[in-house]
Amino acid sequence: MALPIRVFEVSDVVILDPKSETGACNRRRVGALIYSKSPSFEEIQGLLDYIMKQLGVPRVKATDPAEVRSMGYYVVESSDPAFFGELGAADVV
């Protein structure tokens, strides 16, 4: 296939939740991947910003007070060992 390759998915996942009646609950998740010869974190971040804008969720800073952070989202560097850190993985909080 010709580059770039863009893959996106929105789906429900099952998460264990001992507080729920069934012991699990469904949560909607979004996944996106852009593969190209010249990777750019800005391209995937632009997609995130667009989705959040459409949902009405404001972008806040990680350094904002907790009450402000709870009203929006921010991006932090990922420490998940499943991803290659030098390639620019991030967590959305």
Whether the predicted pLDDT of 48 surpasses 70: yes
Residues 6+ apart with CB under 8 A from 48: 32, 75, 92
What is the mean pLDDT of the segment spanning 64-88?
82
* Beta pairing class for 75-77 and 24-35: unpaired
**Per-residue confidence (pLDDT) for residue 85, from 0 to 100:** 57
* Residue 66 one-letter amino acid: A
CA distances 33 to 23, 65, 89, Å, are: 31, 31, 11
**Per-residue confidence (pLDDT) for residue 23, from 0 to 100:** 95
Predicted TM-score (pTM) of the model is 0.71
Q: From the CA atom positions of the chain, what is the Rg in Å?
A: 16
Q: What gap in Å lies between CA 92 and CA 77, rounded to an integer? A: 9
